[in-house]
């Protein structure tokens, strides 16, 4: 695919810049859409599960807020008439009769999806190796994982196959792949974006959010996704409109660094990048202090009870009756059909978590596991409330490591789970958190996580923007 | 922890099947994860209320107003087996 | 021993389909009799990504039920998931309530109510067993029209002690629920379904036996017969020195056979947990006030009001539990409020007896004509037995009681002028009776009354005849 130099240059700019250029008449939306579609179709990193076969005859007008810019959408968002498979063989070829609210809102704001992105099956995973449609490669180093579960979305944006993408985050599934791929990833406050049309993993934790090349892009995309939805009883929307972040200093901002999430277990390269970022924050006027989230070390335990428990129930609907693929039993029995459909339709990680969650809810074990995990969740919510009475924002590394090699952790589920320890506490508390690139370690991107109280998106985006400008990381660094 | 017998019971509840040679490895794997999870039991949680949801929402209800149903052919279109009017399943009584 | 030697303990679980326009958690209309799978939306099929949003009207109806049963109303509504696999359950779980029901405990019609909770109905699974092939892999069809319909489950305490009591109480329940307007409680269409938990113990032993659950009986007749059959079955087991096994049973009304529904499946483990797709609903005092304001007069309240009018207790109850009788009574009373007790007696004794199954639509008598007939009787314009004849005509062809009396010559013979000679003749014709009466033995007066009635074709009043006869005999 021979793409013009000007388009290749445009692809390296951020979505906000592209919209400005389209609206100024300096960039042709159709040409840009074509270019992204072709790059998505070429797909060297296996980031896409579906790519539009052609650019729509009519793109939204340049005057719309999103100016006809394409958006890559994680496979688990239902899109009418377009495969929505949540990375699962069981749902291969599934065409929903309706579109997820978050996606519809972007369409209404003048965006069009040019592709659906690969992901860990049912969003269960941190490496995107658990996809029925194959592993996704990290555009910064194709021998490494892009992170997960929104690995396809992150890889697509990092490789210049989409200006931005929708992801979902249950325990870190936006933030960690954003960190691994040198991008900005925002998990908003639980309830700010409707979950209607998102194929559920864990209902009380799942939250949609943007994966973008800049903090301003994340703010813009979120501003068009959020909002209360009468079809999602847990949705509430944001309390104030998202502002375009312009902040360039952190004067007066108190940043707390929880010892429990920044000490032991963090790789030296990640630690160095994190500490350098803290120095920059200080230079911008922030005060940095050590704080404590005493129950955070138990967050993973609670998470790996609550999320699989909810998932074990959420995934019961995949029974081969109304949609998805079915495998009949040799004996022709109903229970045999159920069992074969699910046993052969689900991948190993999904089955492991269904087993774990079913066990945690089963008679005699509920109190010890599910009940206790809910209590730990209360303690973690309280820890954050205490912390935010002392500081404005909390900073941690997004992940303890940079992107690891494909296969490095796939044989040891527990070690994979332990990699989520910096992101899971915020998920349990439902609070917003962003990951921005803090630099490179051995040539691989490192993520810095900033978290704030519920509904503090504007504060987080402002601080992240100031740091982003100071750090000057090139998010187009993996675009070839 | 979880033993092979419990693994089989849980698999049956979840409508999953494990090959005989996979039962013990699954028990071991789950036990190792549960071993980590059980660190929670070191916490004193006496009197701590459970958190089901963190959203500060007072459940908004739906007015009793109808929307159009799916056309039947659309409702049936994704089913692996269906007749003109319904979803077909193996009989539970077979 | 026989069944009579056992104490019977019955608790009922009643499912009532609420008369909401749309489903419990889905904005799709629901009604009986639509073509299969035409009342189905994304939520009803459990499509991936769909979410439940509760129907405000269903909650309103649930609160009304709780108020009718004198239940405590919870201050918040929490839904749980009940997990199990079955083709009529599209999500692999039913959204129901677990440890925090909307209403309970309460008391209704002499039976304690354990709880009332809201949930969604299952879809309809038709077993196409007609093919006869054991391994027909697609032998059943699922229709999701009913799936997700709003249901209230009413659970009683084990306060019922006979099949008759169960069916009588259920009739009161049905009348009340219908009166509330929260369900059409049509058993044929499945909008009222009943399970019974039954246990028996040797009389006075106080040792409660194992209970069995008799499922899904769909008419009052079947409920009564089913319970009787199950009590007999349990009594036979105990008589033989065996023990009753706790199990779920099915009653076949055609054969009266009771069969176990126990499947080959291992014991259920429903793994209830709080529905994570929903947040708790606060039940506000406004919601409760709104339900209170919507409450119509309930049968037991109407019964008390009728009794206060002087109506006999039995008639008051009958006219409250059968609201069409109560309505007729009230309409007639509006035409002439003077004779409530007699009017109630006329309706519940005389009128109902003339109708098949007490079906009022068979009667052509207007409410005002009934009131008029009662007034004419009270004024002595027609005798009690004459009034019966008038009522026959009213029921068969309607009309005006006074005109019927006139036309058929049924007017009461009032006063002594006309009656005295007839009575004197009767006394003369029966000298032995007259002798006894003179001696103070009033027992044979019936002979005289009978003779007078015969002569007057029932137009005389028995009391009047006695009075005049006593005068003639110098008593």
Number of C-beta neighbours around residue A281 at 10 A: 24
d(CA A211, CA A176) in angstroms, rounded, equals 11
Q: In total, how many domains does chain A have?
A: 1
pLDDT band at C264 (very low <50, low <70, confident <90, very high): very low
List strands edge to edge, sheet with C248-252: C106-108, C111-120, C150-156, C6-17, C192-202, C212-217, C248-252, C257-260
Task: Classify residue A409: in a domain, yes or no.
Answer: no
Task: Classify residue A195: in a domain, yes or no.
Answer: yes
Helix (H, G, I), strand (E, B) or coil at C204: coil
Six token digits for residue C64: 């009304």
Chain centroid to Cα A266, Å, comes to 21
Question: What is the DSSP secondary structure assignment for residue A4, as one 8-state letter?
Answer: -
Closest among C139, C138, C115 to C129, alpha carbons compared: C139
d(CA A69, CA C250) in angstroms, rounded, equals 62
User: Residue B71: closest CA among chain A residues belongs to which residue?
Assistant: A97
Six token digits for residue A50: 């579906």
Nearest Cα of chain C lies from the Cα of B36 at a distance, in angstroms, of 23
Whole-number pLDDT of residue A290: 97
Whole-number pLDDT of residue C174: 93
Task: Give this prediction's pTM.
Answer: 0.90
Instruction: Say yes or no for a CB contact (<8 Å) between B40 and A351.
Output: no
Cis peptide before A128 (omega within 30 of 0): no
- Dihedral of the CA atoms C365, C371, C372, C378 (nearest 10)? 130
Residue linked to tokens 């032995």 = C432
d(CA B87, CA B21) in angstroms, rounded, equals 36
Using CB atoms, which chains have 3+ pairs under 8 A with C? A, B
Task: Classify residue A259: in a domain, yes or no.
Answer: no
Per-residue pLDDT of chain A (480 residues; tens, 9 = 90+): 457 889 999 999 999 999 999 999 999 999 999 999 999 999 999 999 999 999 999 999 999 999 999 999 999 999 999 999 999 999 999 999 999 999 999 999 999 999 999 999 999 999 999 999 999 999 999 999 999 999 999 999 999 999 999 999 999 999 999 999 999 999 999 999 999 999 999 999 999 999 999 999 999 999 999 999 999 999 999 999 999 999 999 999 999 999 999 988 899 999 999 999 999 999 999 999 999 999 999 999 999 999 999 999 999 999 999 999 999 999 999 999 999 999 999 999 999 999 999 999 999 999 999 999 999 999 999 999 999 999 999 999 999 999 999 999 988 888 889 999 999 999 999 999 999 999 999 999 999 999 999 999 999 999 999 999 999 999 999 999
Closest among A453, A308, A293, A259 to A376, alpha carbons compared: A293
Q: Which residues contact A188 (CB under 8 A, 6 or more apart)?
A: A207, A208, A209, A222, A226, A238, A432, A457
Nearest Cα of chain A lies from the Cα of C298 at a distance, in angstroms, of 35
Task: Using the predicted structure, report yes or no on whether residue C234 has a pLDDT greater than 60.
Answer: yes
Instruction: Say yes or no for a CB contact (<8 Å) between C276 and A231.
Output: no
Mutation target among C41, C43, C51 for the A interface, most CBs of A within 10 A:
C51
d(CA A323, CA A313) in angstroms, rounded, equals 17
- Catalytic member of A111, A113, A127, A149: A149
Six token digits for residue A11: 């692809």
CB–CB contacts below 8 A, A to C: 109
Is there a contact between C152 and C65 (Cβ–Cβ < 8 Å)? yes
C279 contacts in chain A (CB < 8 Å): 233-234
Q: Which of B14, B36, B60 lies at the smallest CB-CB distance from A414? A: B36
Nearest Cα of chain A lies from the Cα of C285 at a distance, in angstroms, of 21
Q: What is the mean pLDDT of residues C453-471?
A: 83
Q: Which residues contact A86 (CB under 8 A, 6 or more apart)?
A: A75, A76, A119, A121, A122, A123, A199, C48
pLDDT band at B60 (very low <50, low <70, confident <90, very high): confident
Task: Write down the mean pLDDT value for chain C.
Answer: 90
Instruction: Say yes or no for a CB contact (<8 Å) between B56 and A454.
Output: yes
Six token digits for residue C181: 């307007």
- For chain C, say whether A236 makes contact (Cβ under 8 Å): no
Instruction: Say yes or no for a CB contact (<8 Å) between A200 and C48.
Output: yes
Task: Classify residue A348: in a domain, yes or no.
Answer: no
Instruction: Say yes or no for a CB contact (<8 Å) between B59 and C278.
Output: yes
B91 contacts in chain A (CB < 8 Å): 334
Q: State the DSSP H helix or E strand holding residue C217, giving kind and residue range, or none if neither.
A: strand C212-217
Helices (H), strands (E): how many in chain C?
16, 15
C24 contacts in chain B (CB < 8 Å): none
Residue-wise DSSP of A167-217: EEESSSTTHHHHHHTT-EEEE--TTSS--TTBPPS-TTT-EEEEEESSHHH
- Dihedral of the CA atoms A307, A313, A318, A322 (nearest 10)? -130
Concerning whether A74 is annotated as a catalytic residue, the answer is yes
Model confidence pLDDT, tens digit, residues C374-427: 999 998 888 888 899 999 999 999 999 999 988 887 777 766 677 888 888 889
CATH at A27: 3.90.1300.10
**Angle (CA) C264 C267 C268, round 5°:** 110
Whole-number pLDDT of residue B58: 67
Whole-number pLDDT of residue C267: 59
- Catalytic member of A127, A150, A173, A194: A173
Concerning whether A86 is annotated as a catalytic residue, the answer is no
**CATH code of the region C416-472:** 1.10.10
Model confidence pLDDT, tens digit, residues C65-118: 999 999 999 999 999 999 999 999 999 999 999 999 999 899 998 999 999 999
- For chain A, say whether B20 makes contact (Cβ under 8 Å): no
Task: Using the predicted structure, report yes or no on whether residue C180 has a pLDDT greater than 50.
Answer: yes
Concerning whether A149 is annotated as a catalytic residue, the answer is yes
Number of C-beta neighbours around residue C38 at 10 A: 17
Work out the angle between the directed axes of helices B20-37 and B4-13 (0-180°, nearest 10). 100
State chain C's maximal CA–CA distance in angstroms. Answer: 98
Number of C-beta neighbours around residue C73 at 10 A: 19
Mutation target among B69, B72, B84 for the C interface, most CBs of C within 10 A:
B69
Using CB atoms, which chains have 3+ pairs under 8 A with A? B, C
Nearest Cα of chain C lies from the Cα of B11 at a distance, in angstroms, of 12
- For chain C, say whether A323 makes contact (Cβ under 8 Å): yes
Q: Which of B12, B67, B86 lies at the smallest CB-CB distance from C142? A: B86
Number of C-beta neighbours around residue C265 at 10 A: 11
Portion 74-93 of A in contact with C at CB < 8 A: 76-78, 84, 86, 91
Is residue A290 packed enough to be buried (19+ CB in 10 Å), middle (13-18) or exposed (0-12)? exposed
Query: What are the domain boundaries of chain B?
Result: 4-40
Is there a contact between A430 and A384 (Cβ–Cβ < 8 Å)? no
Q: Which of A304, A359, A375 lies at the smallest CB-CB distance from B48? A: A375
- For chain C, say whether B75 makes contact (Cβ under 8 Å): yes
Six token digits for residue A191: 């309830």
Query: What are the domain boundaries of chain C?
Result: 3-292, 299-408, 416-472
Six token digits for residue B7: 């693994």
Question: Residue A101: which domain range?
Answer: 5-249+450-471
User: Residue B7: closest CA among chain A residues belongs to which residue?
Assistant: A355
- In this prediction, what percent of chain B has a pLDDT beyond 70? 96
B4 contacts in chain A (CB < 8 Å): none
Portion 378-437 of A in contact with C at CB < 8 A: none
A436 φ, ψ to 5°? -125, 155
Q: Which of B45, B55, B59 lies at the smallest CB-CB distance from A372? A: B45
Is there a contact between B11 and B17 (Cβ–Cβ < 8 Å)? yes
Q: Which of C50, C142, C276 lies at the smallest CB-CB distance from A321? A: C142
Residue linked to tokens 């008051």 = C316
Instruction: Say yes or no for a CB contact (<8 Å) between C92 and A319.
Output: yes
Whole-number pLDDT of residue C129: 54
User: Residue B12: closest CA among chain C residues belongs to which residue?
Assistant: C266
Model confidence pLDDT, tens digit, residues C121-177: 999 999 865 444 444 456 899 999 999 999 999 999 999 999 999 998 998 999 999
Instruction: Say yes or no for a CB contact (<8 Å) between B85 and C138.
Output: no
Task: Using the predicted structure, report yes or no on whether residue C5 has a pLDDT greater than 50.
Answer: yes
Q: E-strand spans in B1-94?
A: 87-89
């Amino acid at each position: 695919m021979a793409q013009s130099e000007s388009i290749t240059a445009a692809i390296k700019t951020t979505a906000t810049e592209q919209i400005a250029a389209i609206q100024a008449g300096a960039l042709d939306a159709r040409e840009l859409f074509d270019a992204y579609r072709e790059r998505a179709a070429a797909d060297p990193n296996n980031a896409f599960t579906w790519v539009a076969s052609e650019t729509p005859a009519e793109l939204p007008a340049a005057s719309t807020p999103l100016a006809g810019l394409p958006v890559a959408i994680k496979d688990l968002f239902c899109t009418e008439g377009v495969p929505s498979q949540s990375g699962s063989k069981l749902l291969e070829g599934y065409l929903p009769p309706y579109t997820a609210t978050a996606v519809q809102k972007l369409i209404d704001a003048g965006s069009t999806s040019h592709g659906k992105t690969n992901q860990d099956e049912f969003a269960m995973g941190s490496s995107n190796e658990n996809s029925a449609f194959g592993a996704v490669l990290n555009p910064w180093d194709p021998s490494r994982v892009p992170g997960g579960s929104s690995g396809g979305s992150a890889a697509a944006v990092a490789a210049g196959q989409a200006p931005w993408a929708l992801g979902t985050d249950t325990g870190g599934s936006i933030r960690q792949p954003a960190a691994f791929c040198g991008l900005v990833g925002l998990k908003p406050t639980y309830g700010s974006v409707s979950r209607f049309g998102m194929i559920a993993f864990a209902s009380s934790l799942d939250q949609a959010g943007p994966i973008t090349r800049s903090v301003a892009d994340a703010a813009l995309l979120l501003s068009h996704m959020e909002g209360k939805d009468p079809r999602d009883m847990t949705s509430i929307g944001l309390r104030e409109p998202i502002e375009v972040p312009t902040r360039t200093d952190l004067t007066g901002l108190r940043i707390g660094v929880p010892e429990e999430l920044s000490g032991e277990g963090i790789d030296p390269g990640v630690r160095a990048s994190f500490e350098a970022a803290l120095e920059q924050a200080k230079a911008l006027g922030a005060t940095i202090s050590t704080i404590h989230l005493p129950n955070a070390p138990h967050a993973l335990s609670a998470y790996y009870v609550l999320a699989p428990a909810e998932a074990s129930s959420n995934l019961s609907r995949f029974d081969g009756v109304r949609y998805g693929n079915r495998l009949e039993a040799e004996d022709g029995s109903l229970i045999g059909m159920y069992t074969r459909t699910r046993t052969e339709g689900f991948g190993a990680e999904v089955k492991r978590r269904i087993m774990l969650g079913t066990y945690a809810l089963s008679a005699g074990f509920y109190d010890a596991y599910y009940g206790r995990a809910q209590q730990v969740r209360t303690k973690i919510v309280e820890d954050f409330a205490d912390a935010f009475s002392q500081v404005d924002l909390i900073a941690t590394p997004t992940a303890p490591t940079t992107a690891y090699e494909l296969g490095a952790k796939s044989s040891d589920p527990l070690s994979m789970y332990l990699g989520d320890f910096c992101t899971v506490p915020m998920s349990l508390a439902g609070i917003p958190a962003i990951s921005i690139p803090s630099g490179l370690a051995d040539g691989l991107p490192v993520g810095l996580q900033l978290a704030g109280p519920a509904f503090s998106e504007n504060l987080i985006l402002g601080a992240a923007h100031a740091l982003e400008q100071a750090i000057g990381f090139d998010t187009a660094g993996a675009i070839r | 922890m979880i033993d092979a017998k419990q693994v089989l019971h849980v698999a049956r509840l979840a409508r999953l099947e494990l090959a005989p040679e996979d039962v013990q490895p699954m028990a071991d794997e789950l036990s190792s994860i549960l071993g980590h999870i059980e660190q929670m039991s070191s916490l004193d949680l006496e009197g701590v209320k459970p958190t089901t949801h963190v959203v500060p929402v007072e459940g908004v209800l739906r007015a009793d107003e109808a929307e159009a149903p799916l056309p039947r052919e659309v409702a049936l279109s994704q089913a692996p087996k269906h007749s003109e009017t319904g979803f077909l399943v193996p009989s539970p009584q077979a | 021993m026989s069944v009579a030697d056992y104490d019977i303990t019955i608790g009922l679980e009643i499912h009532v389909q609420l008369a909401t326009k749309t489903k419990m958690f889905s904005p799709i209309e629901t009604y009986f009799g639509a073509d299969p799978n035409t009342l189905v939306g994304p939520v009803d099929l459990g499509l991936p990504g769909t979410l439940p949003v509760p129907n405000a009207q269903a909650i309103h109806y649930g609160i009304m039920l709780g108020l009718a049963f004198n239940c405590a109303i919870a201050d918040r509504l929490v839904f749980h998931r009940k997990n199990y696999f079955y083709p009529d359950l599209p999500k692999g779980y039913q959204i129901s309530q677990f440890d925090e029901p909307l209403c309970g405990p309460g008391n209704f019609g002499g039976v304690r109510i354990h709880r009332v909770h809201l949930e969604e109905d299952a879809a309809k699974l038709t077993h196409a067993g007609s093919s006869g092939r054991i391994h027909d892999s697609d032998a059943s069809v699922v229709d999701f029209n009913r799936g997700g319909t709003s249901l209230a489950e009413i659970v009683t305490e084990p306060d019922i002690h006979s099949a008759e009591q169960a069916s009588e109480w259920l009739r009161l329940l049905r009348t009340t629920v219908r009166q509330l307007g929260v369900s059409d409680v049509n058993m044929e269409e499945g909008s009222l379904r009943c399970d019974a938990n039954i246990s028996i113990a040797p009389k006075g032993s106080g040792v409660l036996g194992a209970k069995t659950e008799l499922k899904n009986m769909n008419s009052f007749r079947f409920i009564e017969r089913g319970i009787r059959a199950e009590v007999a079955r349990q009594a036979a087991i105990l008589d033989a020195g065996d023990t009753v096994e706790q199990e779920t049973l099915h009653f076949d009304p055609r054969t009266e056979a009771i069969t176990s529904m126990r499947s080959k499946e291992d014991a259920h483990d429903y793994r209830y947990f709080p529905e994570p797709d929903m947040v708790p609903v606060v039940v506000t005092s406004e919601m409760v006030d709104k339900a209170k304001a919507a409450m119509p007069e309930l049968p037991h309240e109407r019964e008390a009001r009728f009794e206060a009018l002087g109506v006999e207790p039995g008639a008051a109850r009958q006219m409250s539990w059968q609201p069409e009788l109560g309505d007729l009574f009230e309409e007639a009373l509006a035409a002439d409020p003077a004779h409530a007790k007699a009017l109630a007696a006329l309706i519940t004794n005389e009128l109902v007896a003339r109708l098949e199954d007490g079906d009022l639509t068979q009667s052509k008598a207007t409410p005002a004509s009934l009131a008029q007939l009662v007034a004419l009787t009270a004024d002595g314009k027609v005798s009690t037995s004459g009034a019966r004849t008038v009522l026959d005509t009213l029921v068969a062809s309607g009309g005006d009681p006074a005109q019927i009396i006139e036309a058929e010559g049924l007017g009461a013979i009032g006063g002594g002028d006309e009656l005295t000679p007839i009575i004197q003749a009767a006394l003369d014709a029966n000298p032995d009776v007259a002798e006894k009466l003179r001696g103070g033995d009033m027992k044979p007066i019936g002979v005289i009354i009978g003779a007078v009635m015969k002569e007057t074709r029932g137009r005389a009043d028995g009391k009047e005849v006695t009075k005049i006869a006593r005068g003639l005999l110098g008593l």
